Chains A and B, each alone.
Chain A
Amino acid sequence: MPLVRGGKIAADAFVHVADDAEMPDDGAILISAARFLGEAEALSRRAGRTGVSWPNDRDVDDLVPWLDRLAVVALVFPNFRDGRAYSQARMLRERHGYRGELRATGQVLRDQFVFMLRAGFDAFEVRKESDAEAFAATVKRYSVFYQPTGDGRITALHRRMQLRHSENAGQ
């Protein structure tokens, strides 16, 4: 499954470590929420980078104390009709100030890319190779946005106000 990061297909530096597998001392790992919370104190002192895969039915508040020590938070779309992780992503970015990698996993199709970017995701485990390859073109599809989110894109309402101000200034 290709990973898109920084707008391009990239190698995944993070090794997915199963709950019953031995924990490597160094190197970048991605582990489950249950395993992470079970030994969060020890894990956050590891030499390597640590990422956690967070289920979409668990409150992200539980993750907040550890956010500044995490390199990746991977949120889950069990199928693309299940949109809970969009809310989790916005909470992590906009309310809790998480600045690490926010990764979309599960059934990720190109048709969600713009929504995901707007919600704060910056890495994508994409199901289909063709969708991953289409990433750069797909995210340029929209240039107008009605809602303010934490991604910094200016909304239509505010663009109109700016236009109005510049028209007034020119008079």
Chain B
Amino acid sequence: MYAYDELDRTLINERVSEFRDQVKRRLSGELTEDEFKMLRLQNGVYLQLHAYMFRVAIPYGTLSSEQLRRLAHVARKYDRGYGHFTTRQNIQFNWIKLAELPDALADLADVGIHAMQTSGNNTRNVTSDQWAGVAPGEIEDPRIWSELLRQYTTLHPEFSFLPRKFKFAITASEHDRAAIKVHDIGLRLYKNAAGETGFEVLVGGGLGRTPFIGKTIKQFVHGHDLLSYVEAILRVYNQYGRRDNIYKARIKILVHELGIEKFAREVEEEWLQMRDSALAIDDAVIEDIRSRFTYPAYEQLPHMPDELKKAAHDPHFEAWRKNSTFPHKVPGYAIVVLSLKPVGGPPGDATADQMDAIADLADRYSFGEIRVGHEQNLALPHVARRDLPALWKALDKIGVATPNVNLVSDIIACPGLDYCSLANARSIPIAQELTRRFANHDTANLIGRLHVNISGCINACGHHHVGHIGILGVEKNGEEFYQITVGGRADEKAEVGTLIGPAVPYGEVANVVEDIVEAYLALRARPDELFIDAVKRLGVEPFRERVYATR
């Protein structure tokens, strides 16, 4: 965990008091809605279909139990008793009243959380691997650098009014769980031949109506130069990014229009003029940040304790253990993923009671720490393997032990037309129907790893482009239709999915997904050939045929 100091606390309190003044000026009419809009967005407040929506940042996906309890409190006191975890390590509350927002922010500030820059045309919450610091084989904890970037991007005086939103993601593992290739800046931490820590820097990835996979702008940027290099990218973008058309304003379009070589030259030229400025980070500063991350005092524990051997006779426990627990870098411990995708439920939602219960379980079994992943699930990152049976019982009781992690019913979805004023179509009911169709765990397990992503409009908040099966809601003559893609992925081999054919009506979507899955089961070379690998080998044609032969 990163511990806020007096300076961090002061800054967020100052931000809360500024926002209190802005809300007061809006309510008194001193600020017009047009003026207020940008200011509220920079504090995470959207105007949705029914009410204001409030988005709170969970930087690099790490929460303490105290912070999670406070999120539960906000859900209970200011909202309708639940929150929605998003694909970018944020939580959203959907029913907040404008006049109460400053109080909600002040309550959050008490425990070091905030909503700064969770929307608006600025640098957004810096996201990272939700297993940072505990994943086996990780090069080093990427959250040290995420925190440096969090501070650097917070209230930046030059880059708070960019052409469009701007998102960073960092990974330090070979397997990319942070989707860095679909971010404006993606950072892959590694050590060069001299053993120095640095980053491969990718730029211009993103989804939305024009999806692009990020391109490498520089193969190795030394850790000392990270902030100056990032500042050079942001400065070039701030000056030359398009502002005439909102749909062409992301950095991906600038990179595409200039070409990566020319863009890289512009950045390099800018960077060389300031790499030795006050932005250069020396080792003492890095160590200072590192020293404020605390790590659990792990015990020496057996890999196969008696408790686990005994519980192995329970098939329900075993199904969950095999599906939802993952290797930890410390022997005797496990990473436990909590599925927020119950059968028939909206993906990523948690009630205040669940959040409180999870916070208590984190205190008891995970050194008081919780993680939030872009798949809209939670994780307890430091669970002793001997505690798994007891933890499972407790998780099952509160409904977050569905053994469907990474399976077809572990769906990523945006809020869609049920909440969002931008949406063309509903997402949540599609996800709910799919979880019912694939409720049988044995079937889902037989299918294996399969990511389904649903977006209710072209803005792609459900990341449909990078779903193994992607579902995009569109509107045709006042009716909801859905385009289906296959073959997308968001990891280190990121790719944009391919459309299989004409859009299908709302009522047909679940049938189409079932057809695609059946085609895959019939065509896969071996039981362990994953869906995504089968699509790569076969192309989309067999899936297209299967889906449209009878439609």
| A residues with CB within 8 A of B | 80-84, 86-88, 90, 95, 109, 111, 114-116, 118-119, 130, 141-149, 155-157, 159-161, 164
A115 / chain B contacts, CB cutoff of 8 Å: 155, 157-158, 160
A160 / chain B contacts, CB cutoff of 8 Å: 5, 7, 288
Chain B residues 227-283 with CB under 8 Å of chain A are 235, 238-239, 243, 273-274, 277-279
Which 7 pairs of residues, A with B, have the shortest CB-CB distance?
Answer: A83-B161, A118-B157, A148-B278, A144-B11, A115-B157, A146-B151, A156-B7
**Contact A84 B10, CB 8 Å, known A111-B22, A161-B285:** no
| Assembly CA distance A156 to B155 (angstroms) | 13
A27 to chain B, nearest CB (A): 34
A118 / chain B contacts, CB cutoff of 8 Å: 157
| Assembly CA distance A90 to B234 (angstroms) | 13
| Assembly CA distance A87 to B159 (angstroms) | 8
Residue B17, interface by CB 8 Å: yes
Most buried by A among B155, B157, B161: B157
Residue B174, interface by CB 8 Å: no
Q: Are A144 and B7 in contact (CB under 8 A)?
A: yes
| Assembly CA distance A144 to B152 (angstroms) | 12
| Assembly CA distance A83 to B164 (angstroms) | 11
A111 to chain B, nearest CB (A): 6
B270 to chain A, nearest CB (A): 10
A48 to chain B, nearest CB (A): 32
**Contact A87 B151, CB 8 Å, known A81-B161, A119-B157, A148-B277:** no
Q: Are B151 and A130 in contact (CB under 8 A)?
A: no
Q: Are B10 and A144 in contact (CB under 8 A)?
A: yes
B13, closest chain A residue (CB): A144
**Contact A143 B14, CB 8 Å, known A111-B22, A156-B7, A156-B151:** yes
**Contact A83 B288, CB 8 Å, known A144-B10, A160-B5:** no
| Assembly CA distance A95 to B278 (angstroms) | 13
| Assembly CA distance A146 to B123 (angstroms) | 14
Interface of chain A, helix or strand or loop or mixed?
helix
| Assembly CA distance A144 to B8 (angstroms) | 8
A62 to chain B, nearest CB (A): 14
A81 / chain B contacts, CB cutoff of 8 Å: 38, 121, 161
| Assembly CA distance A148 to B284 (angstroms) | 17
Q: Are B157 and A86 in contact (CB under 8 A)?
A: yes
| Assembly CA distance A147 to B230 (angstroms) | 13
Which listed residue (A86, A145, A164) contacts B238, Cβ 8 A?
Answer: A86
| Assembly CA distance A147 to B158 (angstroms) | 10
B239 / chain A contacts, CB cutoff of 8 Å: 84, 87-88
Q: Are B288 and A156 in contact (CB under 8 A)?
A: no
Residue B196, interface by CB 8 Å: no
A130 / chain B contacts, CB cutoff of 8 Å: 30
Most buried by B among A88, A95, A109, A146: A146
A141 / chain B contacts, CB cutoff of 8 Å: 14, 17-18
Which listed residue (B7, B154, B158) contacts A83, Cβ 8 A?
Answer: B158
B39, closest chain A residue (CB): A111
Add 11 more A-B contacts to A95-B273, A141-B14 (CB < 8 A): A81-B161, A83-B159, A83-B238, A84-B238, A86-B158, A115-B155, A115-B160, A119-B157, A144-B11, A147-B157, A156-B11
B10, closest chain A residue (CB): A144
Q: Are B151 and A82 in contact (CB under 8 A)?
A: no
A84 / chain B contacts, CB cutoff of 8 Å: 238-239, 243
Residue B469, interface by CB 8 Å: no
22 contacts between A and B (CB under 8 A): A80-B161, A81-B161, A82-B161, A83-B159, A83-B238, A86-B160, A87-B158, A87-B238, A87-B239, A90-B158, A111-B22, A116-B157, A141-B18, A143-B14, A144-B14, A145-B155, A146-B11, A149-B157, A155-B278, A156-B8, A157-B288, A161-B288
A155 / chain B contacts, CB cutoff of 8 Å: 278
| Assembly CA distance A81 to B152 (angstroms) | 20
Residue B218, interface by CB 8 Å: no
B31, closest chain A residue (CB): A109
Q: Are B14 and A147 in contact (CB under 8 A)?
A: no
Residue B156, interface by CB 8 Å: yes
B157 / chain A contacts, CB cutoff of 8 Å: 86, 114-116, 118-119, 147, 149
Residue B35, interface by CB 8 Å: yes
B238 / chain A contacts, CB cutoff of 8 Å: 83-84, 86-87
A116 / chain B contacts, CB cutoff of 8 Å: 157
| Assembly CA distance A84 to B158 (angstroms) | 8
A78 to chain B, nearest CB (A): 9
Residue B343, interface by CB 8 Å: no
Chain B residues 316-370 with CB under 8 Å of chain A are none
A149 / chain B contacts, CB cutoff of 8 Å: 157-158
| Assembly CA distance A148 to B152 (angstroms) | 9
Chain B, 113-149, contact with A by CB distance < 8 Å: what is the 0/1 string?
A: 0000000010000000000000000000000000000
A81 to chain B, nearest CB (A): 6
A59, closest chain B residue (CB): B239
Q: Are B7 and A159 in contact (CB under 8 A)?
A: yes
Residue B458, interface by CB 8 Å: no
Most buried by A among B7, B158, B273, B284: B158
| Assembly CA distance A9 to B7 (angstroms) | 32
Q: Are A164 and B11 in contact (CB under 8 A)?
A: no
| Assembly CA distance A147 to B274 (angstroms) | 14
| Assembly CA distance A156 to B147 (angstroms) | 13
A137, closest chain B residue (CB): B21
B460 / chain A contacts, CB cutoff of 8 Å: none
| Assembly CA distance A130 to B162 (angstroms) | 27
| Assembly CA distance A83 to B238 (angstroms) | 7
A167 to chain B, nearest CB (A): 12
| Assembly CA distance A90 to B14 (angstroms) | 24
Q: Are B161 and A86 in contact (CB under 8 A)?
A: yes
A146 / chain B contacts, CB cutoff of 8 Å: 11, 151-152, 154-156
Q: Are A147 and B30 in contact (CB under 8 A)?
A: no
A140 to chain B, nearest CB (A): 10
B154 / chain A contacts, CB cutoff of 8 Å: 146
| Assembly CA distance A109 to B160 (angstroms) | 14
Which listed residue (A109, A142, A157) contacts B285, Cβ 8 A?
Answer: A157
A129 to chain B, nearest CB (A): 11
A23 to chain B, nearest CB (A): 31
Q: Are B38 and A147 in contact (CB under 8 A)?
A: no
Which listed residue (A83, A90, A148) contacts B162, Cβ 8 A?
Answer: A83
B99 to chain A, nearest CB (A): 19
Q: Are B18 and A87 in contact (CB under 8 A)?
A: no
| Assembly CA distance A56 to B156 (angstroms) | 19
